[in-house]
């Protein structure tokens, strides 16, 4: 079984910290400042120093022994809920580098950064077939860096299948996960019923929401011409078309407009939007695009 992220990339991810504009209300201990009154000085744990952290909280005695910078964490700090909605519908199998494989790598990276930061991670794959329900249970409320290997293994075992109802999944998820935190939707957003109602429901909970639209190179830049039979991977519907250079240009304009509408919808509601091509080197996307996109620093 292939690893989702390399050891070298894991080491680089360990230096990152999730950005959360809103302070956590969770009652569980972590590294996020909560709204709770009072300033307990009871020591809780350590985490790696990240440039920009308060130098007054560095444990200099530990630095003298190990030669590395660690920050002290105290009881008044709370964990941040991190919810990742992972599109596992049939359409995500498209592409020479499939959209689903790329999405799983992004989910693994976000989860790992979160676990290293003592936050609580939940992955919600959809649609959820019966054979995957126990596996999905293992991906809920994962805590601690020590859980990362099992977390990666469970992600690796997820399979694609069926047609997903994005709006319903996000609406139900917003009800189930009530604590404000960070919410990430990894999908191609090619849903017959749209995406508006689902994304809108996520913003009502006061979370920082990220929408990562993942499309294959073949969807953005098709190279097949002639008489074609197109088959919808989720519904099985068929349509015969003649695909020439003129229609190719029209198709590319339609795809561009669709992505732009999604971008505009997100930006109007304070949702971070990014478009990713599934054959993009994962290191470049995680360490460059997601940093500038406001996921972490």
Q: Which of the two residues, 79 and 172, has the higher pLDDT score?
A: 172
pLDDT grade for 226, boundaries at 50, 70 and 90: low
> So what's the pLDDT on residue 214?
98
| Residue that has been written with the tokens 């999730």 in this structure | 18
Calpha distance 139→121 (Å, rounded): 8
CB of 118 closer than 8 Å to CB of 73: yes
Residue ranges per structural domain of the chain: 16-78, 79-221+270-292
Q: Nearest Cα to 13, choosing from 111, 84, 79?
A: 111
Q: Nearest Cα to 110, choosing from 31, 194, 171, 183?
A: 183
Residues 117-129, mean pLDDT to the nearest whole number: 93
pLDDT grade for 27, boundaries at 50, 70 and 90: very low
With a cut of 60, say whether residue 11 has pLDDT above it.
Answer: yes
| Residue that has been written with the tokens 């936050």 in this structure | 119
With a cut of 60, say whether residue 169 has pLDDT above it.
Answer: yes
pLDDT grade for 78, boundaries at 50, 70 and 90: low
CB of 196 closer than 8 Å to CB of 265: yes
- Note the pTM of the prediction, 2 decimals: 0.81
* Full DSSP string of 103-156: HHHHHHHHHHHHHHTT-EEEEEEES--GGGHHHHHHTSSEESGGGHHHHHHHHH
Take residue 286 and report the two structure tokens written for it: 């995680």
Take residue 68 and report the two structure tokens written for it: 């590395």
DSSP 271: -
> So what's the pLDDT on residue 176?
94
Take residue 187 and report the two structure tokens written for it: 């999908």
CATH class of 79-221+270-292: alpha beta
Do you know the residue count of the chain?
297
Return the ∠ at Cα 44 (arms to 42 and 50), rounded to 5°: 120
Q: What Å distances lie between residue 168 and 85, 251, 263, 269, CA to CA?
A: 12, 28, 21, 19
């Amino acid at each position: 079984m292939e690893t989702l992220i390399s050891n070298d990339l894991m080491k680089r991810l360990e230096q990152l910290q999730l950005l959360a504009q809103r302070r956590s209300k969770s009652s569980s201990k972590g590294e996020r400042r909560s709204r709770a009154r009072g300033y307990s000085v009871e020591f809780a744990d350590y985490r790696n120093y990240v440039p920009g952290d308060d130098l007054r909280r560095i444990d200099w005695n530990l630095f003298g022994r190990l030669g590395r910078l660690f920050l002290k964490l105290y009881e008044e700090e709370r964990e941040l809920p991190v919810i990742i909605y992972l599109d596992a519908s049939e359409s995500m199998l498209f592409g020479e580098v499939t959209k689903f494989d790329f999405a799983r790598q992004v989910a693994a990276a976000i989860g790992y950064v979160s676990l290293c930061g003592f936050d609580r991670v939940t992955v919600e794959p959809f649609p959820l077939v019966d054979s995957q329900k126990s596996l999905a249970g293992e991906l809920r409320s994962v805590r601690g860096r020590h859980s990362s290997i099992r977390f990666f293994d469970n992600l690796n075992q997820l399979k694609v299948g069926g047609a997903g109802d994005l709006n319903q999944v996000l609406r139900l998820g917003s009800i189930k996960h009530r604590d404000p935190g960070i919410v990430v939707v990894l999908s191609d957003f090619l849903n017959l019923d749209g995406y508006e109602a689902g994304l809108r429901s996520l913003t009502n909970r006061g979370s920082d929401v990220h929408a990562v639209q993942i499309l294959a190179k073949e969807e953005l830049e098709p190279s097949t011409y002639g008489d074609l039979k197109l088959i919808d991977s989720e519904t099985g519907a068929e349509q015969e078309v003649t695909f020439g250079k003129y229609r190719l240009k029209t198709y590319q304009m339609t795809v561009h407009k669709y992505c732009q509408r999604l971008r505009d919808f997100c930006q109007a509601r304070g949702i971070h939007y990014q478009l990713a091509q599934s054959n993009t080197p994962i290191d470049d996307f995680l360490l460059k695009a997601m940093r500038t996109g406001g996921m972490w620093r």
